[in-house]
Structure 1
């Protein structure tokens, strides 16, 4: 796996240069059906990933967010050329490149590069997780002291926004929305965040495949929103990414989510007002 890891690291650094080349400039972009943005940088990186992998590993398949190459192989590279395209397109430096090697649906290798902070995260299953070649570990903080990221958007299948705000009210965890599930999940791996909850489903395995191995090799845990393992060559049921300590507590809240079930905002407001009255008294 050494050859694949070094190849992935090199490709990540090259992709980071493309991200920086187009950043904060007037770049051509378009909206996809789920209202997410794709830029010329996404497309250029995606094409380069496919051509590079096809040259180095001609029998391997590539599943990219913008374009794919199916070789009918049990080894598949999953690439998100720019996770956080929305802030990236707005000139906000919150975005990362992600690449994973998956065998029969199981993540074997993951590399993430944040070119703005020059942070290169990497992991091979069974070999530990690293940030710029230094070993990293998740934190051991509980919910009371936790920083938890959530990634949700109006077209998402699961309404984790209301769910996680209720979680925050009940537990005192600090819940925020960074704008990049991959960047936030890497902060879980390095012990700076305690969890990241993700609403992605259709076509979103590319967002979690690298994170799965990086976070778990750092001592954390990654499941779907209902506590189950997932195969990363098919659609997923969101993700709970955590330090392991608060994983089950988060699942107590996300387990109630369904394909169409949403928590009523008025109910959430009632919970908030009730909690406020308790604090006041």
Structure 2
């Protein structure tokens, strides 16, 4: 395992311990709102602080981009940290959330770690080195048709305009697949695509810390990840389309058919 991945694993497990310590007393936590349906708890902050401490102990000169702490430092190597992806699930006692740590070098995804503290599943990937879950190689599913596929998604909850664009997509995919799951933690959704539990996944308006590790996991597991609307690099927009090769292509074609429906697409002036 690469030294950077070793440190990321150590940091993710330490954060996971903090999260689990508070999982059964969420009613006592201080929770604030960052926006509509977007919450942060003292656990998010404590978990991120522990991750940052671990990184700084081994790599004090590296830069960090944290969901809670923002950008810290400048360097060729950047750690992209989501200390608790799925905070709303956590606060409601739903055991579906994860710690996500992605690492870029000179702007390219290099390593990724996603840790599910409830199942103790540890996902790791390095560029060119494949993807693993609990140290065993994982691959995307072999499902070949949308009709037999199970697809993950996430609803854009931050504003009504994005919801208006999303609903036609949801209807179009729902018509063609065996089912859709909206589990509430994009990092785990992408890890599950890499593992073959989900055949595909799409979501709009995600942040770098939501997807950095997961994007690399899917690609290293033999899958495909692109920008949902084909406009740019997925890390720049946060509009994600992922899956095995056949399902990705089929989803892309299905969503492409919506281009004649303005409500389903972002406007030219919309950065998200």
Tell me the alpha carbon deviations over residues 73-121 of structure 1, each in whole angstroms, 9 at most, x when there is no partner: 1211001111111111111101010001112322100000001111000
- SS in structure 2 at match of 1:213: helix
- Displacement after TM superposition at 1:241 (Å): 1.6
- The correspondence for 1:198, drawn from 175, 189, 203, is 203
- Displacement after TM superposition at 1:147 (Å): 0.5
**1:92 and 1:216 mapped to 2: Cα distance?**
28
1:246-265 alignment to 2 at 5 Å?
246-255=247-256, 261-263=262-264
The aligned residue for residue 279 of structure 1 is none
**1:247 and 1:24 mapped to 2: Cα distance?**
38
Confirm or deny: 8 A CA contact 1:50 1:69 kept in the other structure: no
TM-score normalised to the size of structure 1? 0.85
Further displaced range: 26-35 or 71-80: 26-35
CA RMSD, aligned part only?
Answer: 2.2
- The correspondence for 1:164, drawn from 162, 170, 183, is 170
**1:145 and 1:105 mapped to 2: Cα distance?**
37
- The correspondence for 1:176, drawn from 158, 175, 181, is 181
Corresponding position: 1:236 with 2:237: yes
Confirm or deny: 8 A CA contact 1:84 1:180 kept in the other structure: yes
- The correspondence for 1:76, drawn from 78, 102, 107, is 78
Tell me the alpha carbon deviations over residues 146-199 of structure 1, each in whole angstroms, 9 at most, x when there is no partner: 000111133256433431222221x23311211111111111111111011111
Confirm or deny: 8 A CA contact 2:226 2:234 kept in the other structure: no
**1:257 and 1:67 mapped to 2: Cα distance?**
38
5+ long unaligned stretches in structure 2: 265-272
Question: How many equivalent residue pairs?
Answer: 258
Further displaced range: 145-154 or 235-244: 235-244
Further displaced range: 237-246 or 152-161: 152-161
User: In 2 relative to 1, CA 116–39 (structure 1 residues): closer, same or farther, beyond 3 Å?
Assistant: same
- Displacement after TM superposition at 1:15 (Å): 1.0
Corresponding position: 1:145 with 2:157: no
- SS in structure 2 at match of 1:32: strand
The aligned residue for residue 19 of structure 2 is 19
Higher Rg of the two aligned structures:
1
**1:173 and 1:167 mapped to 2: Cα distance?**
10
**1:69 and 1:237 mapped to 2: Cα distance?**
17
- SS in structure 2 at match of 1:246: helix
User: In 2 relative to 1, CA 228–107 (structure 1 residues): closer, same or farther, beyond 3 Å?
Assistant: farther
TM-score normalised to the size of structure 2? 0.88
The aligned residue for residue 6 of structure 1 is 6
**2:104 and 2:180 mapped to 1: Cα distance?**
31
5+ long unaligned stretches in structure 1: 264-281
Corresponding position: 1:213 with 2:216: yes
The aligned residue for residue 99 of structure 1 is 101
**1:230 and 1:252 mapped to 2: Cα distance?**
19
User: In 2 relative to 1, CA 237–10 (structure 1 residues): closer, same or farther, beyond 3 Å?
Assistant: closer
Confirm or deny: 8 A CA contact 2:156 2:203 kept in the other structure: no
- The correspondence for 2:38, drawn from 32, 36, 42, is 36
